[in-house]
A and B are shown apart, each in its own frame.
Chain A
């Protein structure tokens, strides 16, 4: 089955700097890669996703890149702000019908003012 590895487990950056979180997956058939943000005391919330037919997707300060050959994808946050502090999860899936997501281990991002 699918296995997703996420790095780093913790990341601390200065406000205004960029943050990058990386994930690798094992199943070459995976074709959907969402990123979730989990704020303290809340459930995860989708912030961006990418499908295997594109290599990059951007939404304001957030971007995701996908390298299918290397089987890795990354989340990029530019001009970080204090409200970006949260735990971020990547996920992967190839089971569209079953809606089965396999999550990475999570990255705790801290933005220092």
Chain B
């Protein structure tokens, strides 16, 4: 089944304790992205990657890191989480076609609480 998977689905942690949220897709998509969803703010892009070893900042990158060493994986790293990073996180992926938009497929989400 074509899908985007995220782990963990739920995480409660404490301020300053490094964590990683994994994202994997099995559709051979070049593009992957991380979003956070907060009430009243919609989805805001954190980082995205156009292909292996190519990453760029989205609208709210502060406090986050990403890496893209393999095409299928795009982990989100919080080196020193703070309470304002409590949110619902989504990973997404899509094909890249020059001059044409392709559908973004979203994972099921990771609910993160930082105490």
Say whether A and B bind each other: yes
CB-contacts of B55-77 with A (<8 A): 56, 58-59
**What residues on A are CB-neighbors of B81 within 8 Å?**
none
- Chain B interface residue count: which class? 20 to 34
Q: Number of contacting residues on A, CB 8 A?
A: 28
Identify which of residues 24-53 in chain A touch chain B, using a CB-to-CB cut-off of 8 Å.
Answer: 32, 34, 36, 41-46, 49, 51
Given the known interface contacts A46-B103, A96-B99, A98-B50, the answer about A106 and B4 at a Cβ–Cβ threshold of 8 Å is no
Which residues 70-108 in B have Cβ within 8 Å of A in the complex?
90, 92, 94, 96, 98-104, 106-108
- Say how far B3's CB is from chain A's closest CB, in angstroms: 10
A residues bordering B, Cβ < 8 Å? Answer: 1, 4, 6, 9, 32, 34, 36, 41-46, 49, 51, 89, 93, 96-106
18 contacts between A and B (CB under 8 A): A9-B40, A34-B101, A43-B92, A43-B106, A43-B108, A49-B103, A93-B101, A96-B98, A96-B100, A97-B50, A98-B48, A98-B50, A99-B50, A99-B102, A102-B59, A103-B35, A103-B42, A105-B40
